[in-house]
Chain A
Amino acid sequence: MKIFRSTLVWLVASMLFCTPALAVKFEISSPGEKTIPLAITALLPMQAAQPGIAEDFQQVLEADLDLSGLFSLVNPAAFLSDAGQLTLSSTQVDFSQWRLLGTEAVIKGGYQLEGDDLTIELRLYDVVSRRLLTGRRYLGKKHDIRKIAHTFADQVLLSLTGELGPFSSRIAYISNRSGHKELYLMDVDGYKPQRLTDHRTIVLNPDFAPTRKELIFTSYKAGNPDLYRKEIYTGQESRLSLKQGLNIGGRYSPDGREVALTLSKDQNSEIYLLGTDGTIHKRLTNHYGIDVDPSWSPDSNRIAFVSDRRGNPNVFIVDVHSLEVERLTFEGKYNATPAWSPKGERIAFSRLEDREFNIYTIRPDGTDERRLTFGPGSKEHPRWSPDGRFLVYSLERDREKSIWVMRADGTGARRLSADGGNDTHPAWSGRW
């Protein structure tokens, strides 16, 4: 009996030991596909077909989504019959066809033109889950087609990343196409350049107001480099700061209530805070070195700027409240034009090396410095897109200066401004 019991206990124990592992555990630390296979079908006419509409729309949308770096666009030549069907409801779409092509998302849509009134219906479908991700109906004029494409590209990014894209915003820049350095405005793909000033002198350093359709910039119109403010739609212009000496590098605070800029009214360039009425609120730096190019942190508590107080120009950060200054960059002989990213994670700046500037980014604590641009030409004046996904900058190559855009990791660089002028000092607007 005893032996029997002992054996029984032993058996129970053995059974416990022999129980197989619950689950084989492993890690997958990277997706196999690092882009989303996306199919963009041509817009189909909902009534009579009109030449050019579908093509223009497709071109703008594709360019925007390609710049995002999120997608690998499926070759339209491989599309099957569903691409030719105007299916604006997920129940009508033949998702199996798209699965067959390895597509994960598909954009479909139709248009209708009555006179000059344009209606565009657009849908973004998730092929795997067979559901509608976003659907939009846009009403506008025929000439709004690019705008509609940009706006829908923003929506696509919102659906797939949780954050709106910046494609319907604008870029301001300085160009000498008219023979003088004037302020211009263009779409984020370089389309529709529009001259905003006619000062016939030198205009510099534009910056967008975060909450209004308004720009500030420096102009020598009155002989002195004064800070101007210009309303974009009304065209109204006024001088915001006309202190003796420099009034340059104006940057709106994230809430739009103050402007940081460089004044040299006391014979030395220092960073100041101005109210939007032009009154000085605060002096932020006090050093015999030259302090220029302020850039706000998104929380408005700190400002990055360039100073030569330690010899060579380097990027420093000043605390707006305590006025404590700390040095950010230590490498390179010339670091300039800092731009704090909208999310505060990184600061972009340009560094002179081997007679050429290149764009770098660094974390605000001074770590993880990364070079983003390579190749010939001098790249300067980096500015962030409102979502922090892209950087716009000016490139000087072969004696020509042009505006370029790239992703925040330095990939996908492409030219925005057209030939035939020197374009510099870009600034990206907020949500338009």
Chain B
Amino acid sequence: MESSRKQRWKQLQSLFEPGFRRMLVISLLLHLLLPLLYHTPWFPKKAPLKPPVYRVNLVNKPVANPQAGRPEAVKEQKPEVKPEPVPAKPVKPEPVPIPVPVKPPEPPKPEPVIPKPEPVIPKPVPVEPKPEPVKPKPEPVKPKPVPKVETKPKPEPKPAVSKAQENALQQRLDQLRADQAKKQAEQDRKNRLEALRAAAASESTKVKSPVADAPVGMLDGKGDEAGVSAVAFVQEYIRQQWSLSQYQVSGSPEAEAILLYSANGTLIHYRFVKKSGNGIFDDSLVKAINKSKQLNQPLPEQMEFHIIFNLKEMLDRP
């Protein structure tokens, strides 16, 4: 039995080249060396689990080797972005649409127009001749329907028509003016909003670097490229796409996902390494990832990100 084994081994040995054993030993030693070498400085390590928190400006370009600087610093390029919204203001000549054109239709309107103040307006009309028995004798009865129009008495000189009608007319005018002003204000607000949107870089312009003349870079940057770390950029970008309210979840959910981005910033694929088990939380992450399908900046190269999502920062719950 034993002899047959030896024979087989000898046969095998005959197949090996001379020195094979030594090679085998060397290979074994090298494998043993691996764990030791892992701790040498020239062995590539993973990024730290919890990198420092940077405020990253998503307008700045992500680069492979960011230089020393500040991620929120702004490249001085487009100060013209701001003036764009301004054109909205000159449009202000609100007074133009003064309800003057509305005047003609007024006569027929006195009654049906004003639903709320109705009770106030029609009454004074019949009161005019017999207001004395009610309260004071003088005409102060009229001030009631005229809340703010004290300045209007001028057009009154010809009370040929009915004063109540005049008042109603005046009120209608005021109301129209107010509506117009409101619309204008709303329009202005919209314009301002538009302007803000158009100036997507406004965020960056608002956040001035505390250090004057700080270049665009990272606080711990050691490279030579003007830009922010791609990791910090992606981290901030996905964070901004993630919306979840503290009132939606309880406990401390945590999920992990791996996202692979191409160099042009397109999400190639993603998968969850671990889900939190909380449907609402996990669903919000899927949405955030979907919204991050295309980054607004290219990456220095194709990159894979292993992201841990949790609510440590948001929930100050114990």
Contact = CB atoms under 8 A, between A and B. Distances in A.
Interface of A: 1-2, 5-6, 9-10, 13, 16-37, 68-71, 77-78, 104, 126, 128-129, 160-162, 363, 367-368, 389, 407, 409
A2 B26 CA distance: 11
B279 interface: yes
A25 B306 contact: yes
Given A34-B244, A78-B190, A25 B308 contact: yes
A18 B245 contact: no
A161 B247 contact: yes
20 contacts: A9-B30, A16-B34, A22-B46, A23-B46, A25-B47, A25-B306, A26-B49, A26-B51, A26-B307, A27-B308, A30-B312, A32-B239, A32-B243, A33-B243, A34-B314, A35-B245, A71-B245, A77-B189, A128-B287, A407-B247
A23 B258 contact: yes
Given A30-B239, A30-B313, A36-B243, A25 B318 contact: no
Interface residues of B, number: 58
B247 A70 contact: yes
Contacts of A36: 243-245, 248
A249 to B, nearest CB: 30
Given A18-B44, A21-B45, A24-B306, A30 B241 contact: no
B235 A26 contact: yes
B175 interface: no
A31 B314 contact: yes
Interface in B290-318: 290-291, 303-314, 318
A154 to B, nearest CB: 14
Contacts of A33: 240, 242-244
Contacts of B19: 1-2, 5
A32 B46 contact: no
Contact of A28 (B46, B189, B242, B279): B242
B239 A31 contact: yes
Contacts of A25: 46-47, 49, 305-308
A23 B247 contact: no
A129 B30 CA distance: 52
A13 B26 CA distance: 11
A47 B154 CA distance: 49
B312 A24 contact: no
Contact of A24 (B26, B42, B231, B290): B231
Nearest to B37: A17
Given A35-B245, A69-B247, A77-B190, A21 B308 contact: no
B236 to A, nearest CB: 8
Contacts of B241: 32
A22 B19 CA distance: 36
Q: Which of A18, A24, A70, A162 lies at the interface centre, i.e. has the most chain B CB atoms within 10 A of its CB?
A: A24
Contact of B308 (A6, A28, A30): A28
B23 A9 contact: yes
Interface in B241-270: 241-249, 258
Contacts of A162: 279-280
Nearest to A126: B287
Nearest to A32: B240
A72 to B, nearest CB: 9
Given A13-B30, A407-B247, A24 B304 contact: yes
A128 B290 contact: yes
B162 interface: no
B13 interface: no
A69 B248 CA distance: 10
B244 A78 contact: no
B213 to A, nearest CB: 29
Contact of B243 (A37, A68, A389): A37
B44 A78 contact: no
Given A24-B47, A24-B306, A9 B247 contact: no
A29 B311 CA distance: 5
B284 interface: yes
A104 B287 contact: yes
B310 A29 contact: yes
B305 A32 contact: no
Given A23-B305, A32-B242, A104-B243, 18 more contacts: A9-B26, A20-B44, A23-B258, A23-B306, A25-B308, A26-B47, A26-B306, A26-B308, A27-B309, A28-B310, A31-B239, A35-B243, A36-B245, A36-B248, A37-B243, A68-B247, A129-B287, A368-B318
A149 B200 CA distance: 37
Given A24-B306, A31-B314, A17 B243 contact: no
A162 B278 CA distance: 10
B176 interface: no
Contacts of B236: 32
A161 B280 contact: yes
Nearest to B286: A129
B193 interface: yes
B53 to A, nearest CB: 9
A23 B47 CA distance: 8
A26 B307 CA distance: 5
B16 interface: no
B304 A22 contact: yes
A128 B231 CA distance: 25
Given A21-B47, A30-B239, A70 B306 contact: no
B238 interface: yes
A27 B239 contact: no
Contacts of B238: 28
B40 to A, nearest CB: 9
